[in-house]
Amino acid sequence: MAGINAATKLIDNKFDGKIIILDMGKDPHKRLPSEVMTGMLGAGGWSDGKLTYHTAIGGQLSKYCGEDKAMELMDQVITNFKRFHPKPEEVQCSNPVAEPDFIKPQFGLRLFPVWHVGTDYLLEIAKNWYQYLVDNGVCFEWETKVYDIDFDNKFISAKDNNQQEVRSSYDELIFGVGKSGIDFGKSLAEQYNLPTEPKSVQIGVRFEAPQKHFQKLIDVSYDFKLYRKFDDKGVSLRSFCTNNNAAYVAVEETYGNYSYNGHAKKDEKYRNDMTNFGIIMELNGIEDPFTWSRDLVKKLQVEGKGLYYSPTRTPSLTSEGDNVSAFQIDSTDMDEVREIFEGYFSYIDSFIDGMIEIFPTLKDDWGMYIPEVKYLSPEPLVDYTNLALTKYPNVHFVGDALSARGITVSGAQGIYVAEDILDKQRIVRIFTDKTYSIK
Ligand SMILES: Cc1cc2nc3c(=O)[nH]c(=O)nc-3n(C[C@H](O)[C@H](O)[C@H](O)COP(=O)(O)OP(=O)(O)OC[C@H]3O[C@@H](n4cnc5c(N)ncnc54)[C@H](O)[C@@H]3O)c2cc1C
């Protein structure tokens, strides 16, 4: 996403250098629907294509360039999608109404516009966009996995799908490997000892209840995002990734431990009329957040599983009909959990109490799977004006490899870097143009 938006910006502005895109995935003609993470249009651009349009959603953008510039960059990404869309008039923006009054005593509800590209059109968009870039001289090397980058000598090493070496030097490098390249980004950060931004801890529980209790809110906002903020304590909480109708809790095994997440099925035959969502706390100011989270998750395992607590319910079934794998604990065990959380669990308790107050039928009819965790990869420290590494000014980190979590923000970061490269080119032109004289 970041890469092709950057390349498009460069092409549109008559960049006179050579652009090479190395990607371990496939071109849009060969890429299979099941290849979710890699290839032309990146991750969500291939499967979902929802373009969020707000600076508070989808990761960091305005932090680098300010609010107005961020919106302008996101506009450019949306324009690109429309431009290569076979029916641009069908790209629609949904802009939810104001927060409903009944939630206000307890929560804020984050509402934001989303442009819906339409999943049925993503393949055609990918092909049209690809053709435009190829026709304008961009050189794609598909199924080519970069395994090493020598930042000091400006050199890339990769292997193609026949295990043949592919090598290339570069003047400017845009590093946009997305989630599928997160480990590669991490290993480069360690190898080059790159300074990083301080990160927060993101941990909580996966909450589950019959959907009927939340229907009033779901009618206003399907994927509702309730939030609470305690700025003075460096703590904020939000509901995260809401699933409805055919909603299932899933085990995630990371670093050998269980944590929980959720997903929804589209097929009616899976309908279970349940709702699940994460209640995620963002904790700032914890030294070494990664180790802290991992230690906490380790302590929340019994008999090799995560935990389940409910005042009245038992764990529900997975979409395959098995029990969600979790060790059920009682209210006495919950006190131990609260201790393990070093006091932070009181925020989750109070979030649930708040929901019980505004959704009066909820009462004790809920359960929670403990823990849900988001291990954030270290974010390399960059020059905010062009997203270049502070140690290597010609290496730009963009998209999910930096601090993005969505299509629009990733694409916008790519365009932001391209604008900087175009500016540099202009400066070089001025100094190499013999007819130009400085007065
Ligand atoms: C299933 C799914 C659905 C999503 N839906 C949405 C949505 O609807 N809306 C939204 O805003 N966001 C969505 N997202 C998130 C969004 O897709 C990403 O935030 C965005 O694509 C990130 O852009 P990027 O440029 O950083 O990386 P990507 O778009 O993921 O592109 C990275 C590319 O780098 C390549 N690559 C990785 N490592 C290497 C390597 N070592 N060598 C060579 N190539 C490499 C990959 O093949 C890939 O093509 C979704 C994500 C997923 C997984």
- The tens digit of pLDDT for each residue in 173-214 reads 999 999 888 889 989 999 999 998 878 899 999 999 999 999
Query: Could you identify the atom of ligand 1 that is nearest to the CA of residue 414?
Result: 25
More confident residue, 268 or 176: 176
Strands 145-150 and 108-109: unpaired
**Among 20, 174, 400, which is best to mutate for testing ligand 1, by the most ligand atoms less than 8 A from CB?**
400
Cα–Cα distance, 227 to 198 (Å, whole number): 22
**Among 179, 223, 374, which is best to mutate for testing ligand 1, by the most ligand atoms less than 8 A from CB?**
179
The ligand 1 site (C-beta within 6 Å) comprises 1-3, 22-25, 36-39, 42-45, 47-50, 52, 58, 145-146, 176-181, 184, 399-401, 404-408, 410
Q: What is the pLDDT of residue 89?
A: 93
120, two tokens: 């049925």
Residue 426 has pLDDT above 90, yes or no: no
Q: What is the pLDDT of residue 439?
A: 39
**SS3 of 373, please?**
strand
Give φ, ψ of 128 to 5 degrees. -65, -45
**SS3 of 335, please?**
helix
User: What is the band of 57 on the pLDDT scale with cuts at 50, 70, 90?
Assistant: confident
CA of 26 to the centre of ligand 1 (A): 13
Cα–Cα distance, 377 to 191 (Å, whole number): 15
CA of 179 to the centre of ligand 1 (A): 6
Q: Identify how many contiguous H helices and E strands the chain contains and give both numbers.
A: 11, 22
Cα–Cα distance, 120 to 49 (Å, whole number): 10
Q: What is the pLDDT of residue 413?
A: 98
Residue nearest to atom 36 of ligand 1 (CA): 177
CA of 5 to the centre of ligand 1 (A): 13
292 closest CA partner among 201, 196, 372:
201
Mean pLDDT of the chain: 92
Residue 263 has pLDDT above 80, yes or no: yes
**Among 24, 116, 121, 188, which is best to mutate for testing ligand 1, by the most ligand atoms less than 8 A from CB?**
24
Is residue 50 exposed (0-12), middle (13-18) or buried (19+ Cβ within 10 Å)?
Answer: middle
- Give, rounded to a whole angstrom, the gap between the first and last alpha carbons of the chain: 43
Kind plus residue range of the DSSP H or E element containing 412? helix 407-432
CB atoms within 10 A of CB 105: 9
The answer to whether 280 touches 252, Cβ cutoff 8 Å, is no
Give the largest CA-CA distance in the chain: 82
Residue 141 has pLDDT above 50, yes or no: yes
Cα–Cα distance, 74 to 51 (Å, whole number): 9
Global pTM?
Answer: 0.82
The answer to whether 154 touches 34, Cβ cutoff 8 Å, is no
Residue nearest to atom 12 of ligand 1 (CA): 406
Give φ, ψ of 17 to 5 degrees. -95, 180
Mean pLDDT for 67-86 is: 97
Query: Could you identify the atom of ligand 1 that is nearest to the CA of residue 40?
Result: 49
Cα–Cα distance, 142 to 45 (Å, whole number): 17
| DSSP at 368 | E
- Give the E-state strand segments of 151-266 in sequence order: 155-159, 165-169, 173-175, 201-210, 226-230, 235-243, 247-254, 257-264
The owner of tokens 């001289």 is 137
Q: Which of 104-108, 262-266, 358-362 has the lowest mean pLDDT?
A: 262-266
CB atoms within 10 A of CB 385: 11
Query: Could you identify the atom of ligand 1 that is nearest to the CA of residue 36?
Result: 1
The answer to whether 1 touches 73, Cβ cutoff 8 Å, is no
Mean pLDDT for 131-151 is: 98
Strand order across the 388-389 sheet = 173-175, 395-397, 388-389, 382-383
- The percent helix, strand, coil of the chain (3-state, each to 5) is 35, 25, 40
Q: What is the pLDDT of residue 75?
A: 97
| Secondary structure, 3-state, 273-308 | CEEEEEEEEEECCCCCHHHHHHHHHHHCCECCECEE
Residue nearest to atom 19 of ligand 1 (CA): 406
Residue 437 has pLDDT above 60, yes or no: no
